[in-house]
Chains A and B, each alone.
Chain A
Amino acid sequence: MIEATNPDPIYSMRKVLTVLFPYIAQQKQHKMLDVFLCVVRASGQSGFMWHWIRLPFITLLNEGSPVSLKQAAILASPYLPWWSFPNDEHLIQLWAAAASRVPYTDKVGQSVIDTLLQIASNGSLRPHIPVDMWSWLNNRPNLPPTCIGRLQGSIQVVVQAVRALGNMETLKSYLLLVWSEWDPIHLGGVRNYSGQHCSYQKSLPEMCTSIREDFKGNRMEKHREDLLQWLDHILGQLELGLSHLQKQKPNLNGESIKQMMKQYEELESVLLEVGGKQLTADTRRIRRREEREKRGKGRGEEKGNVGPNQPMLKGMGHVSATT
């Protein structure tokens, strides 16, 4: 499992690895590209690739380049240091156009959404995102445990941007994607490109406001149910404990688990409150435990029918980090 390796030596060679990327992309060998992306992902650092990659990337994304090169560029796009390309409308336009040309697969969906959320978290890049690119969120692919865009894309301004679209399906998909047992909702301050500290992000209150304002009413009951079901899944995974989660994401720690528990329980209570349900958080916790025990017994009775503890949502599921 590459996530378990020490990422530091790989990160120290990020420039050399970046240099190798154009050659790998041109070789049209998917296995080689997969290994390369796994190594890059294993570094566990945001903005892995060197900023000099911009020009080769543009060459790969250009309209005239073959689809295979475009696909390689799309798959590698989450590892670009997007923060180092301020106001680069041309690059975003090329990326968006290439994404629409590449045949959809789960990996392509993951990469596009990861990149989209990273771009959206950058104030100078966000205005250049074509509106139709947000509809990619509705695909709701399985995001891997290490996903740069999920954490960065949960900041307040991105929540506001998605709310401003006025599409409830997209908003729900967005929340389902950024809520995860692997990452907390972004709470820390963010720095802009010039290194100045931006105002403190209030992502969680913004999400709570969104639930109260956008998901209220009987018409939204189905959406609330989906969100509750997903939160139930996340909290269930968190209750399994640190050691269970560290198998797939070794850099998780007890503090972040506690923080996530607190955040997602708060969101759950807001959803229940909007739905008019009287169940307290403790009651739901007891219910989750009972359900888990029931599933454990069921697993013993029905061998081979081992379903992951997850809600039946479109595209969403338990993601294996093994690569």
Chain B
Amino acid sequence: MSKWRWSWLYPLTFVQEPAIKQNWNQRWKKTQNFTLGYLLLGSLLLSDIYNSADSYFGRWLATLSRVPTVIHHSTTSYFWLLAIGALSNSSPFQVPGLHIICSAASAVASATIIVASPVASATFTVSSAFRCAIRHSETANMFQSTVKHFWTSQPRNNVTSLLVDTLSKLPGMLASDTLHLRQAITQLLVAFVHQLYTGLFSVLSTLSEKSETMGPSHVLEVLQSSPNNAACQIALEFLARVVVLDDFDPTLVTECFNVLSSFVSVIDSTVAVAQESEELAALSATCFLYTYSHLSVMDPMSGVLEDVHQHYNMVFPLGVDFKGLPFYYTLGTIHELFNSDQRHQQHARIEWQDYKPPSSGCAVFTCSLTKLALSEYQRRKKVPCWILHFVLHSMSLDPSPSTPDIVECLSIIAIGMGCNISRTRTILDNRYVHTK
């Protein structure tokens, strides 16, 4: 940008000079330009306050200034440790706040990518607006013409009269420029908000389209790339919301179980959940149940089912009791599922008397039970009693469970009565029921 374009800012530079400060203040009052006047006044006032405070409390500030230095050094050391821990997972400096920083950093990076494009676009609009305002500035044009006139006029002795003439015109032009500038600021603000909104909307639309096209295969990719907990949680949360399990890879069942077994373990017949990972453990249990039930319906002969069954029995012995865990019903269902064939050995049976369906969210758990009922009916020609007991309990709740839950419960009853429910049915819609 050429230098002359900033010429409309020169009067403000003059105002900063102490010699003519008072004179200019008086002139500003006359021009009735409130906006720039108040801006100027505010900055002068702040400057005075700072100078006074510096002289009076200089000593105290000097003493106090040592405290931030100590804090600064400690914080710098801590952040170095964080940085080293973040760069290498094998680093011994895995300080407690590291995962928060990592997740925050990834969130900031994602947000930056999302916001960068509309912000760049909006910035371009702002700069264009400013350029336009400067180009049409009367003050700048006047200075330009004055300087041109000064160089072209042959007797150059009338400089004083020229300067006086210019200065006399200056307040009126400044007022006019200020008005134009206000209009420009308003216009650019509107333009900025519009650009930002349009940009963000387009980004969000793209993301939403992407999430619609995302499927279990993407979740599998995320889980297989051994990500951190935050990424894992996002992937599993997505999986728990997926209504149609298209392009379903059976390996997803194994991956979900791996996540579950990495957070839940059994030590001396006692179930232990990794600290601060209860939510993720519950989510992985839900997803494992969901994917396992889906696979057991879609491909009952899949070798993955057998492998996972064996793996489960190694991790969770028969006598383990999940009572007391916040996700007892999910784990209890899985345990019941894998041990219901063990007729000669006792295992802790699942009890539903305290079960309450979640107040929000879709009926993933009930849908999983419906799929299990379907697969068990295909295998044994009967729905297991523990699933029927769940339905009986859910149907007897006061207040009644949500409509999706009731629909799933009625589906289980229909399966038990020998109705043929489509295997590819989704949680809430595309329901096809045929009586035999």
Contacts and interface: CB of A to CB of B under 8 A. Distances in A.
B416 A15 contact: yes
A7 B31 CA distance: 102
A13 B417 contact: yes
Interface in B393-434: 393, 395-396, 398, 400, 406, 409-410, 412-413, 416-417
A55 B389 CA distance: 11
Interface in A101-142: none
A18 B398 contact: no
A59 interface: yes
Contacts of A50: 388, 392
Nearest to B381: A12
Nearest to A20: B413
Nearest to B418: A13
B392 A52 contact: yes
Contact of B391 (A19, A53, A55, A59): A19
Closest 6 CB pairs of A and B: A56-B396, A16-B416, A22-B395, A22-B396, A19-B392, A23-B395
A18 B392 contact: yes
A136 B392 CA distance: 31
B405 to A, nearest CB: 12
B395 A19 contact: yes
A160 interface: no
Q: Is the interface of A mostly helix, strand, loop or mixed?
A: helix
Main secondary structure of the interface of B (DSSP, over half): helix
Contacts of B389: 52
Q: Which of A16, A18, A20 has the most CB of B within 10 A?
A: A16
17 contacts: A15-B388, A16-B388, A16-B416, A16-B417, A18-B388, A19-B388, A19-B395, A19-B409, A19-B413, A20-B413, A23-B395, A23-B409, A50-B392, A52-B388, A52-B389, A52-B392, A56-B392
A256 interface: no
B383 interface: yes
Given A15-B385, A16-B383, A26-B400, A53 B392 contact: yes
B353 interface: yes
Interface string B40-68: 00000000000000000000000000000
Given A16-B388, A19-B388, A59 B416 contact: no
Nearest to A64: B398
A19 B398 contact: no
Contacts of B391: 19
B353 A55 contact: yes
Interface string A12-37: 01011111101100100000000000
Nearest to B385: A15
Contacts of B413: 16, 19-20
B406 A23 contact: yes
A63 to B, nearest CB: 13
Nearest to A53: B392
A22 B398 CA distance: 11
Q: How large is the interface on A (under 10, 10 to 19, 20 to 34, 35 or more residues)?
A: 10 to 19
Contacts of B393: 55-56
A72 to B, nearest CB: 12
A18 B417 CA distance: 12
Nearest to B398: A59
A15 to B, nearest CB: 5
A38 to B, nearest CB: 16
A7 to B, nearest CB: 16
A33 to B, nearest CB: 14
A22 B417 contact: no
B396 to A, nearest CB: 4
Contacts of B395: 19-20, 22-23, 26, 56
A217 to B, nearest CB: 53
Contacts of A19: 388, 391-392, 395, 409, 412-413, 416
Given A15-B416, A56-B396, A23 B385 contact: no
Given A13-B417, A19-B416, A23-B410, A55 B396 contact: yes
Contacts of A22: 392, 395-396
Nearest to B406: A23
A53 B396 CA distance: 9
Contacts of B400: 26
Nearest to A9: B418
Contacts of B392: 18-19, 22, 50, 52-53, 56
Nearest to A59: B396
Contacts of B409: 19, 23
Nearest to A18: B392
Residue from B383, B392, B393, B406 with most neighbouring chain A CB atoms (10 Å): B392
A8 to B, nearest CB: 14
Contacts of A16: 383, 388, 413, 416-417
B394 to A, nearest CB: 9
Interface string A54-94: 01100100000000000000000000000000000000000
Contact of A13 (B396, B406, B410, B416): B416
A22 B409 CA distance: 12
B415 to A, nearest CB: 9
A59 B388 CA distance: 18
A59 B412 CA distance: 22
- B388, B400, B410, most chain A CB atoms within 10 A: B388
A52 B388 CA distance: 10
Contacts of A56: 392-393, 395-396
Contacts of B412: 19
A240 B120 CA distance: 100
A56 B353 CA distance: 10
A50 B393 CA distance: 13
A27 B393 CA distance: 16
Given A17-B417, A20-B413, 20 more contacts: A13-B416, A13-B417, A15-B385, A15-B416, A16-B388, A16-B417, A19-B391, A19-B392, A19-B413, A20-B395, A22-B392, A23-B395, A23-B406, A26-B395, A50-B392, A53-B392, A55-B393, A55-B396, A56-B393, A59-B398
